[in-house]
Amino acid sequence: MSKFGRFLAASALMGAFATSAMAEKSFDYAFQGSLKSLDPYTLRETFTLGILTNVYEGLIKRGPNLEILPGLADSWEVIEPTRWRFHLRKGVKFHNGNDFTAEDVVFSAERLNSEGSDMKGRVPSDATFEIVDDYTVDFILASPNPILHYEWELWSIIDKDWAETNDSVRVTSASDTAETPISMMANGTGPFKITEHTAGVNTKFEANENWWNWENREFNIDKVNFTSISADATRVAALLSGEMDMVYPVPTQDIKRINSSSTLAALTGPELRTIFLGMDQRRDELLNSSVKGKNPFKDIRVRQAFFHAINAEAISSRIMRKQAAPSALMISPFLFDNADQFERLAYDPDKAKALLTEAGYPDGFEIRIDCPNDRYVNDESICQAVAAMMAKVGIKVNVNAQPKAQYFAKILASGGYETSFYLLGWTPGSLDSHNIFANLYGCRDDAGKGGMFNIGGYCNPEVDALAKEILVENDAAKRLDLVTQAYKIVTDEVGYLPLHQQGLAWGVSKDVSVAQRADNVLRFEHITKN
């Protein structure tokens, strides 16, 4: 280390003492779920990945409005349709002091697609990488991919040397029977370091004064304590009692209680998640229905009738207590620029009845709706409301609500798609429409090959063909046009019955200011505290 370097280190150390001499600001918050493994590739779940991006960073970053910003990559360009060049930020250091270079990016990309990773595909598995120099790396793709970097905020870059010396090259996979070091400790480049982690209970963070953007930081907190509190009432009580600066999610019925306090406020907004109903359009005979020998949902008039019978406004105002925005599409309007061209089919029970009569069901029929009761906001109540609305047009809906563990085991591919009418919520992981067409509208076979989450089995080859074009179209305007075309088809055919964009509700002390992102990710770097 040069003399100057030593001087810098010494003054940094003094700086550290100086700040600790001042009153330390700690931000305490609680979330419903828990943080288990710290390995950022073990579980593809927004909460886990989101909390870890305070410690690790991706090549890109997303701002408070989910806009794409430079992260560990300063800039990037598409040199050829299949070759992307990323210029990396210089002077970035991992928490252990190692330099961040192109090697770490390639290492992380390979680790991402390795056996046991739950993040496979976030970098296309057939991509190859070329290190141009220490701070430039090329991604060579098999086919063009305009949204290559969309999901990369939550793709954490890991230090190659550190992983190698700490036996953490291998991903801590779901099938592992022992912890790997990286599942218990973290070494990222981010603005916060993990100082203590008790899996499933709490995690403590401390600001990283060597962060590359320290000089321009927005936050003024020194410590963050995260606690998992699963019981809704206890979580809200912890906020009301002043023990917590923030808790989320807040149950809709408690929003008023929080807002009535002089020191607290409920921060609400639409989430990216769309809550919708799906209809079995694949089986020849519906499960748990009075109609035998045929499938009424194969008739578009029946699907339209169901749509007309549902009063989404009422669900949003009564059941969701206005914490939801009725939705015409299967994607949040945040994520699709032409969303305003689409409208819901009007609530019109008479028209629904007429359509049912026309389709040959003047007296309606009976069907069961499968519904989770602990997954989405007020999920079971929504199903009950739907049943009541359907009853008005002569359809008898029996509600079968189950805990999510049983529910998903039954309705997903692993359970053989055992449902004919169901409620589900979906957030496109890539924050892009292609995800919707591939997962929810893509044709599938009985084993789930194709649109794996297309539980109802909607299938239109035209949409599949458009989805393929959307995937590789680099021209933004053309791409938007293709996406709009595809939405036109699936909306006209009533492939699903979208209900609403679920609302987000965070309970926050008035002493702190946070940025609420529509993907429910809390970034510590936007937190300030009085």
Partner 1 sequence: MLAFIIKRFVQSLVVMLVVGLIAFVMFRFVGDPVDQMVGLETSIEDRERLREVLGLNARLPMQYWNFISSAAQGDFGTSYQFKRPVADMLGDRLPATLELALVSAIFALCAGIPMGVFTALYKDSVLTKLFQAVSLVGISLPTFLIGILLIYVFSVQLQWLPSFGRGEVVDIAGWSTGLLTSSGLKALILPAITLGLFQMTLIMRLVRSEMMEILRSDFIKFARARGLTPRAVHFGHALKNTMIPVITITGLQLGSIIAFAIITETVFQWPGIGLMFLQAVQDVDVPIMAAYLLMIAFLFVFINLIVDILYVVVDPRIHIEKA
Kindly state the smallest distance separating residue 175's Cβ from partner 1, in Å: 4
CB of 414 to partner 1, least distance (A): 6
Q: In sequence order, what DSSP letters do the residues of 445-498 get, joined into one string?
A: -TT--BSTT-TT----HHHHHHHHHHHH---HHHHHHHHHHHHHHHHHTT-EEE
Which range in 104-112, 116-124, 135-143, 248-256 contacts partner 1 by CB under 8 A? 116-124
83, 120, 298, 526: residue in contact with partner 1 (rule CB under 8 A): 120
Task: Report whether 102 contacts 134 (CB < 8 A).
Answer: yes
If one asks whether residue 199 binds partner 1 (CB under 8 A), the answer comes out as yes
Residue 179 in the binding site for partner 1 (CB under 8 A): yes
- Give the DSSP letter of residue 515: P
Bond from prior residue into 181 cis (ω within 30 degrees of 0): no
Please report whether residue 129 would count as binding partner 1 according to CB under 8 A. no
Non-local (6+) Cβ contacts of 492 within 8 A are: none
* Closest distance to partner 1 from the beta carbon of 407 (Å): 8
Residue 242 is a binding residue for partner 1 (CB under 8 A): yes
Q: Which residues of 295-319 are buried (b: 16+ CB within 10 A; e: fewer)?
A: bbbebebbbbbbbbbbbbeebbeeb
Using rule CB under 8 A, residue 198 touches partner 1: yes
The Cα angle at residue 361 between residues 357 and 364, in degrees rounded to 5: 110
**Considering the rule CB under 8 A, would residue 243 count as an interface residue with partner 1?**
yes
Our CB check for partner 1 shows the closer of 188 and 425 to be 425
- Of 506-525, binders to partner 1 (CB under 8 A) are none
| Contacts of range 284-288, beta carbons closer than 8 Å, 24 or more positions apart | 286/367, 286/420, 286/421, 287/368, 287/418, 287/419, 287/420, 288/367, 288/368, 288/398, 288/400, 288/420
- Binding partner 1 (rule: CB under 8 A), the pick from 66, 106, 339, 412 is 412
Cβ nearer to partner 1, comparing 125 with 220: 125
| Binds partner 1 by CB under 8 A, chosen from 156, 172, 378, 419 | 172
CB-based contact 296:361 (threshold 8 Å): yes
Question: Is residue 241 a contact residue for partner 1 (CB under 8 A)?
Answer: yes
Which of 302, 424 has the CB closer to partner 1? 424
| Residue 295 near residue 285, CB atoms below 8 Å | yes
Three-state SS at 120: coil
What is the Cα–Cα distance from 263 to 237, expressed in whole angstroms? 14
Size of the site for partner 1 (CB under 8 A): 57
Instruction: Give which of 70, 31, 194 is closest to 522, Cα–Cα.
Output: 31
Q: Smallest distance, Å, CB 173 to partner 1?
A: 8
Name residues contacting partner 1, limited to 317-346 (CB under 8 A): none
Confirm or reject binding of residue 473 to partner 1 (CB under 8 A): no
Nearest distance in Å: CB 364, partner 1: 32
> Could you tell me the smallest distance in angstroms from the CB atom of residue 458 to partner 1?
18
Q: Does 63 interact with partner 1 (rule: CB under 8 A)? A: no
- Contact between 260 and partner 1 per CB under 8 A: no
Q: Which stretch binds partner 1 (CB under 8 A): 71-79, 233-241, 288-296, 486-494?
A: 233-241
**DSSP secondary structure letters along 382-441:** HHHHHHHHHHTTT-EEEEEEE-HHHHHHHHSGGGT---SEEEEEE--TTSSHHHHIIIII
Does residue 43 touch partner 1 according to CB under 8 A? yes
Cα separation, 91 vs 38, in Å, equals: 25
Residue 450 binding partner 1, by CB under 8 A: no
Q: Is there a contact between 88 and 76 (Cβ–Cβ < 8 Å)?
A: no
Please report, as residue ranges, which positions from 348 to 407 form the binding site for partner 1 (by CB under 8 A): 374, 403-407
Rounded to a whole number of angstroms, the minimum distance from the CB of residue 447 to partner 1 is 7
- Rule CB under 8 A: choose which of 7, 414, 478, 492 binds partner 1: 414
The yes or no reply on residue 34 touching partner 1 (CB under 8 A) is yes
Q: Is 125 exposed, middle or buried (0-12, 13-18, 19+ CB in 10 A)?
A: exposed
CB atoms within 10 A of CB 481: 14
228 binds partner 1 (CB under 8 A): yes
Rg of the chain in Å (alpha carbons)? 25
CB of 413 to partner 1, least distance (A): 5
Chain residues binding partner 1 by CB under 8 A are: 30, 34, 36-37, 43-45, 118, 120-121, 172-179, 183, 198-202, 227-231, 233-235, 237-238, 240-243, 374, 403-409, 412-415, 429, 439, 447-449, 452-453
